[in-house]
Chains A and B, each alone.
Chain A
Amino acid sequence: MGIKPGDTPGFFTSKLEKAVGWARRYSIFQYPFVTACCGMEYMSTASGHYDMDRFGAGLPRFSPRQADVLFVVGTISHKIAPILRRVYDQMCEPKWVVAFGVCTCTGGFYDNYATVQGIDTIIPVDIYIPGCPPRPEAVLDGLMKLQAKIENQKQVVI
């Protein structure tokens, strides 16, 4: 009973899509690709005080094959860029990418020969969380925006 992208949704399929969206929203398995300073704020957000678990995103999976949201946390230099691309390619669909911190969004103030000027030059990005590093509140805000995006997008159920 697959819904293909071109199909006109009927009553049943639109309800199913809603249910799948709701389920996906609250079962985010993230892959934290931590390289730099933002990792400290990532740790803060993930642990007790701010508690990402409240949003159903509590369990980081360190294997790309088990994860569906890639958190790119910290500066991406040209040396590590191919590895990021590889990790992204290894993830299964559906997958989302969060650019955590301004270095991943635009390169930040590392406007130099070593740094990738925004990871969207390498992989598609769904949510940008700017800040150097972003406060945990900003991260949670980004996470909620990602959840809304996941819920409302067209669900491909195979």
Chain B
Amino acid sequence: MEAATETRETKSMLLNIGPSHPAMHGVIRLVTELEGESVAKVDAEIGYLHRAFEKSAEAATWTQVIPYTDRLNYVSPLINNFGYCAAVEKLLGIEVTERCKYIRVTMSEISRITDHLTCIAASAMELGAMTAFLYFMKAREYLYEIVEEVTGARLTISYGRIGGVKGDLPDGLPEKLEEALKKVERELLEVDKLLTRNRIWVDRTRGIGVLTREDAIAYSISGPMARASGIAYDVRKAFPYAAYDRMDFEVPLGERGDNYDRYLVRMEEMRQSIRIIRQALKGMPGGPVNVDSGGRVIESFDLVDQAKMGRTAGLVDVRTTVEPTLEGTEKVHHDRILPDEKRVVLPSKEDTYGNIEGLMNHFKLIMDYHGIRPPKGDTYHAVEGANGELGFYVVSDGQDRPYRVRVRPPCFFNMAVLHKMLEGYMVADIVATFGSINMIAGELDR
């Protein structure tokens, strides 16, 4: 009895987790202070994958920034691409074509699924569920095959272009995509059966790493993490971009903000993404994918009406369908050069090699110190990245290179609130909580 009443001096222990640690996907160092088994204090040290994105972007032309954006959140590179392109388009005042918007939605959602698959797979693996990992990697592979078919690469795709996308969808893609989606759904169901009601999984995640609604708002958390805490904020709904305003989808919400809710939110978001992809494929209009490739043809009576009213700005170069009064007048000698729409997208190779306008257009876009030159100014455009609001703040000084490209990476804010989710829990819960956040070092450190 005496031994029990004897007071012993207790000391907290300092423990470094990372930056190279099997359960830390991505490089980050957590300096934890432990009191026995429980975590008293956590300090996250970041910057191990700083690759000078913002500085490199200042040295590259507007188009050359796109490959750098691939490698921000390398699990869902397509969303980054489109986010950056949309920001520059906003600066230029360009509206992309309807087909391009649908393509962007489709590809973004494919990317979102791959991201969530990777997140859940990795966090399940870290808790010992290797089977779920292998199933989801299989599912991701089906989608990578589709991405490769569309963009030509599996991961670092550089598919977005300012004013459109690199190329149209290949023939027969909708069928292949549908087939892949069916397979992904099957894997989702399989992992759902393995994890959702699994006693071990629920014990390790339920009630662990709780992020309260207040904290989530205070730390400006967005994406699945905020939604798991019950905040109904989704950039796709709040500020619809591309064709999201025409898509019918639900934003899943959690109640408790713990690891389990984050897992459920991600699972449901994947199902919603599949729903969006199906709608986008169904509703995808025809037409050009880049802003200027179709030309701007107006009816002749419109041309006359506009001219009579004195609205002649930009009309000089517009191609019109003039009624033939003399033999041969219906022939359009050359396509109009409409500077507003010709300043971002490269002309087709037929035009480049076939006529002088195309050649000049090509050179003006390719030559150093010419290229894409947005007007002076700055703008911010946010898209719903896989981890939350992914914003691009671009500043132009009127040159062919960005003055500044600042990224608002969702992970950065998640790492800021990390200590709230780890302190007070056990050491072993660090792995479970950290896995559910889906920290991507590429966009965290940039």
The reply to whether the CB of A12 lies closer than 8 angstroms to some CB of chain B is no
User: Known contacts A43-B118, A80-B19, A135-B154: does B50 contact A114 (CB below 8 Å)?
Assistant: yes
* In the complex with contacts A37-B71, A47-B133, A112-B51 CB distance below 8 A: yes
Interface size bucket, B side? 20 to 34
Report the minimum CB–CB distance from A112 to chain B (whole Å): 4
Interface membership of B56, Cβ < 8 A? yes
CB of B240 closer than 8 Å to a CB of A: no
In the complex with contacts A47-B138, A87-B20, A41-B50 CB distance below 8 A: no
Chain A CB within 8 A of B141 CB: yes
Q: Are A77 and B442 in contact, with the CB atoms below 8 A?
A: no
Separation of A115 and B49 alpha carbons in the complex (Å) = 9
> In the bound complex, what is the Cα–Cα distance between A76 and B47 (angstroms)?
11
B156–A43 CB distance below 8 A:
no
CB distance from A123 to the nearest CB of B (A): 14
Contact of A80 among B27, B71, B118, B138 (CB under 8 A): B27
Q: Quick check: is A40 within 8 A (CB to CB) of the other chain?
A: yes
Residue pair B155, A79 in contact (C-beta under 8 Å): no
Considering the chains assembled together, what is the distance between the CA atoms of A35 and B29 in angstroms? 12
Choose one: A83, A109, A113; the contact of B19 (CB below 8 Å): A83
Q: Which residues of A are found within 8 Å of B51, using beta-carbon distances?
A: 36, 75, 77, 110, 112, 114-115
Do most interface residues of chain A lie in helix, strand or loop, or is the interface mixed?
Answer: loop
Closest to A87 in B: B20
Q: Contacts A36-B74, A114-B52, A135-B154 given: A83-B137 contact, CB under 8 Å? A: no
CB 8 Å contact bits of A32-50 with B (1 = contact, 0 = none): 0111110111011001110
Give the secondary structure class of B's interface.
loop
**Interface of chain A residues 133 through 154 with chain B (CB within 8 A):** 133, 135
> A80-B19, A83-B19 in contact; A37/B155 too (CB < 8 A)?
yes
For residue A132, CB closer than 8 A to chain B, the reply is yes
A33–B20 contact, CB under 8 A?
A: yes
- A residues touching B (Cβ–Cβ < 8 Å)? 33-37, 39-41, 43-44, 47-49, 62, 74-75, 77, 79-80, 83-84, 87, 109-110, 112-115, 132-133, 135
Q: Which residues of B contact A (CB under 8 A)?
A: 19-22, 25-27, 47-52, 55-56, 67, 70-71, 74-75, 118, 122, 133-134, 137-138, 140-141, 144, 154-156, 441-442
22 contacting pairs across A/B (C-beta < 8 A)? A35-B48, A35-B441, A36-B49, A36-B51, A36-B71, A36-B441, A37-B71, A37-B155, A39-B25, A44-B144, A44-B154, A48-B138, A79-B48, A80-B27, A80-B48, A83-B20, A112-B55, A112-B56, A113-B52, A114-B52, A115-B51, A132-B156
